[in-house]
Amino acid sequence: MITSAHVYVDTITLLSWGSLPKQFLQTVRRLQGKPLIIDERPVYGRNGQLIGYWFFSSIHQPTVSTINYLGSIKGGTFSLNAVHIAFDFLLPDLLQATKVKDFLVGSLRLKWRRCEPLGSEENTDYWRIDPKSSRNIALYCDKPSKTGRGPCCHLEFRFTGTEACRRAGLANLQALESGEIDPFSILNRHAKIAPVDGARLDRAIQDIARKMLPKTNRRHHGAKTALTNAVLEVKIRRVLARCFGNAPLSQLHLVRSQDLWDSRRQSLRRASVESPWNQFTTCPKWHLWR
């Protein structure tokens, strides 16, 4: 289904105490052919007095020349505060792109993620609600590839914070410029494809019901109708359906893999089946902006 895949640096953000030098900004604007997006945030001392500003300078689709120039800057002029790495999975048309996105929405799991609701905004799904999270995933399919290659499913890994960029192995500007980083290493390190298997989920619910039944009957000793495994399974399914966004009982196997993993129950976690990235797509090729 996926005809080819490409990976590129979508955005980098530089952090500096105070505004970056005028000559530096002019050089970057000239190399990019467009202005930077600069956000300044005030910093206050303990007594509430303004002591200065942090400046966040974002560069979209940084060119090879820009990254080379940034890598040549010595000293503490700035630190790399954010890197967004985008994967465009190219498809024949929007319908196929939508199918791939729906598959990833249900199957993609962000590693080392704090248990919290998943977010969405317009046509984009996010794996963390807070945009300042150290690691996040953005996914959409309603726009053509930024590389100019047509319809795609756009998967973007967003790393925010100097330490997050370093841990992700993306703090080396020269490696980003040359495309030396293995795309599969980024995918494998930070996310897994693990669709929910309906039969495994049924067995997991049956196992939970079987273990809960004796304790539940003891707590409700003397009730007119004794609980059975079948009755308890239905109750568990209803609870899970409410927890997973009021999913229909008949379509409980369509819940998102991330939601199932966040439940923390090992039996439910085993209902998702991991699939390697190289079965989903061919190795993405680096697209370097010129």
Rounded to whole angstroms, the Cα distance separating 117 from 134 reads: 16
pTM exceeds 0.85: yes
Domain extent at residue 265: 198-269
In a domain, 242, yes or no: yes
The DSSP secondary-structure symbol of 284 reads P
pLDDT in tens, 162-204: 999 999 989 887 787 777 899 999 999 999 999 999 888 888 8
In a domain, 276, yes or no: no
47 and 78 assigned to the same domain: yes
Provide the CA 23 distance to its chain's centre, in angstroms.
35
Write the secondary structure of 194-251 as one string of H (helix), E (strand) and C (coil): CCECHHHHHHHHHHHHHHHHHHHHHHCCCCCCCCCHHHHHHHHHHHHHHHCCCCCHHH
Rounded to whole angstroms, the Cα distance separating 204 from 211 reads: 11
Predicted local distance difference test score (pLDDT) of residue 167: 92
In a domain, 29, yes or no: yes
Place 287 in a pLDDT band, splitting at 50, 70 and 90: very high
pLDDT at residue 223 greater than cutoff 50: no
pLDDT at residue 242 greater than cutoff 80: no
Tell which residue, 248, 241, 249, 235, has the closest CA to residue 206.
235
18 and 98 assigned to the same domain: yes
In a domain, 274, yes or no: no
119 and 62 assigned to the same domain: yes
126 and 24 assigned to the same domain: yes
pLDDT at residue 272 greater than cutoff 70: yes
In a domain, 227, yes or no: yes
User: Which residues are paired to 15 by β-bridges?
Assistant: 56, 79
Provide the CA 85 distance to its chain's centre, in angstroms.
10
161 and 221 assigned to the same domain: no
pLDDT at residue 224 greater than cutoff 50: no
State both tokens at 185: 């290493």
118 and 205 assigned to the same domain: no
233 and 148 assigned to the same domain: no
pLDDT at residue 217 greater than cutoff 70: no
In a domain, 237, yes or no: yes
144 and 174 assigned to the same domain: yes
Place 255 in a pLDDT band, splitting at 50, 70 and 90: confident
38 or 231: whose pLDDT is higher? 38
In a domain, 149, yes or no: yes
Number of separate domains in the chain: 2
43 and 135 assigned to the same domain: yes
144 and 177 assigned to the same domain: yes
pLDDT in tens, 105-124: 999 999 988 888 788 888 89
pLDDT at residue 149 greater than cutoff 90: yes
pLDDT in tens, 20-66: 999 999 999 999 999 899 999 999 998 999 999 999 999 999 999 99
8 and 116 assigned to the same domain: yes
168 and 220 assigned to the same domain: no
**Bridging pattern class, strands 285-286 and 4-17:** parallel
